[in-house]
């Protein structure tokens, strides 16, 4: 076995990655809907709100941090589908990146709470 993960570990990583991807899709799509549809506040409110700009900066950081692990997981999935064994020695690094992303998302939730209370305008 190369790396740190056995078959069950890889399945858990792939499942967690799928859930993370679904969550990202839901956050971004519902956020875009709220921004562009004017269902709660006008688009101009968001674009002039300093906290919203900070929140979008945090989202951009999360997405940039995701490129490297996402590419690795795609390679791992392809290799596993062909019956190969991926080298998972970099998995602890990807886990640390994921924890950092989770922390940034907590900050995004706090920013959303501040915006809901009228801050940042």
Helix%, strand%, coil% for the chain, nearest 5: 80, 0, 20
Q: How confident is the model at residue 68 (pLDDT cuts 50, 70, 90)?
A: very high
| Residue 2 is assigned to a structural domain of this protein | no
Q: How confident is the model at residue 39 (pLDDT cuts 50, 70, 90)?
A: confident
Q: What is the mean pLDDT of the chain?
A: 91
| Residue 91 is assigned to a structural domain of this protein | yes
Domain of residue 50 covers: 7-116
Place of tokens 């940042």: 120
Dihedral-angle region of residue 85 (phi above 0 means left; psi in -120 to 50 means alpha; beta otherwise): beta
CA distance 10 to 80: 9
| Residue 90 is assigned to a structural domain of this protein | yes
| Residue 1 is assigned to a structural domain of this protein | no
For the residues 7-31, what does the mean pLDDT come to? Answer: 91
Q: 72-76 — which CB contacts under 8 Å span 24+ positions?
A: 73/13, 73/14, 73/17, 76/10, 76/13, 76/14
| Residue 61 is assigned to a structural domain of this protein | yes
Number of domains making up the chain: 1
| Residue 92 is assigned to a structural domain of this protein | yes
């Amino acid at each position: 076995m190369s790396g740190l993960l056995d078959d069950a570990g890889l399945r858990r990583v792939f499942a967690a990655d799928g859930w993370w991807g679904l969550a990202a899709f839901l956050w971004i799509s519902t956020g875009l809907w709220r921004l562009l549809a004017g269902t709660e506040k006008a688009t101009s409110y968001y674009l002039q709100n300093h906290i919203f700009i900070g929140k979008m900066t945090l989202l951009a950081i999360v997405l940039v941090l995701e490129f490297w692990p996402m590419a690795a997981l795609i390679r791992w999935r392809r290799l596993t589908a062909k019956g190969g064994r991926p080298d998972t020695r970099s998995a602890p690094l990807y886990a640390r990146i994921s924890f950092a992303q989770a922390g940034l998302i907590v900050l995004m939730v706090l920013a959303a709470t501040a915006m809901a209370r009228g801050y940042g305008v």
